[in-house]
Amino acid sequence: MNQKLAKNTGEYMKLNKIGIIAMITMTEALVGSGCSLLSKNAQNPVQNSGTGPTVSTSVPSMAAVVGRIQKGLGGNVSSSAGNFAKVLAQVQTNLPSVTDPTKATGLDQIPVLIYGACSDVSTSLMNSAYKVNSGTSVAANMAPLVAAGVTMVNLHVANLAAAGTPLNAQVSSIFTNLVNSDIGSGATTAQAFYSVCMAANSFGVGMTGF
């Protein structure tokens, strides 16, 4: 498998856009379902007072970002090898160094870091870990691609989207729509896997409050 970070800028931008849109859609679905991690009725994270804002949530710092990516990928990639390590070396000083959301900067560096990690999942690992066969069509891999996305989300939210839970149908629907979009755009199975991987882990890394 070609392990270059991206064949061209257009491919990365397409996957980045898909991942961000899917992350927003997934977050809205989880909020609407009443998920305790992302409740609509949760207290406003930043409250103004006479002495300035009081922070009641946090954003992940550099170490937490790396840890969340590795968690979502089930330990199948390493931050010390492959594209994940190469991108981390380039962006780590730009990632948040503080957890205060009113002061943290560098969150815009996270999508490319997630893409680097996702691209380290080789075609053989896609098959062994996620049952995705890159040698066949995206349509033929619909079920395992959706299952891969749900699996990654579950690792971030303690199995709240597992089969039989209220969130399962919503999260599965989001990934089904994402994979259908990839089919419509003529993406390869590997590209579809990377877009699913980016969406699931962008959501997981982007969660705040802990």
Query: Is residue 26 scored above 90 in pLDDT?
Result: no
Joined together, the tokens standing for residue 161 give: 């989207």
Higher pLDDT, 15 or 66: 66
The percentage of the chain sitting over the pLDDT mark of 90, rounded to a whole number, equals: 51
User: Do 150 and 171 touch, CB atoms closer than 8 A?
Assistant: yes
Query: Is residue 174 scored above 90 in pLDDT?
Result: yes
Q: How confident is the model at residue 6 (pLDDT cuts 50, 70, 90)?
A: very low
Higher pLDDT, 203 or 210: 203
146-169 tens-digit pLDDT: 999 999 999 999 898 898 888 899
Per DSSP, the three-state class of 29 is: helix
pLDDT at 28: 53
pLDDT at 9: 44
> Domain limits of the chain?
9-32+58-206
pLDDT at 52: 47
Reduced DSSP (H G I as helix, E B as strand, rest coil) percent helix, strand, coil of the chain, to 5 = 60, 5, 35
Helix (H) or strand (E) segment spanning residue 53:
strand 52-55
pLDDT at 200: 95
pLDDT at 49: 43
Of 112, 184, 198, 204, nearest in space to 142 by CA: 184
Joined together, the tokens standing for residue 16 give: 């980045």
Mean pLDDT of the chain: 80
- In the predicted model, what is the mean pLDDT of residues 191-208? 91
State how far the Cα of 167 lies from the Cα of 157, in Å rounded to an integer: 11
79-101 tens-digit pLDDT: 999 999 999 999 988 887 877 77
Contacts of residue 26, defined as CB under 8 A and 6 or more positions apart, other chains included, come to 153, 171, 174, 199, 200, 203
Higher pLDDT, 50 or 134: 134
Of 24, 81, 28, nearest in space to 198 by CA: 24
The percentage of the chain sitting over the pLDDT mark of 70, rounded to a whole number, equals: 71
pTM given for the model: 0.74
- In the predicted model, what is the mean pLDDT of residues 197-202? 95
- In the predicted model, what is the mean pLDDT of residues 192-207? 92
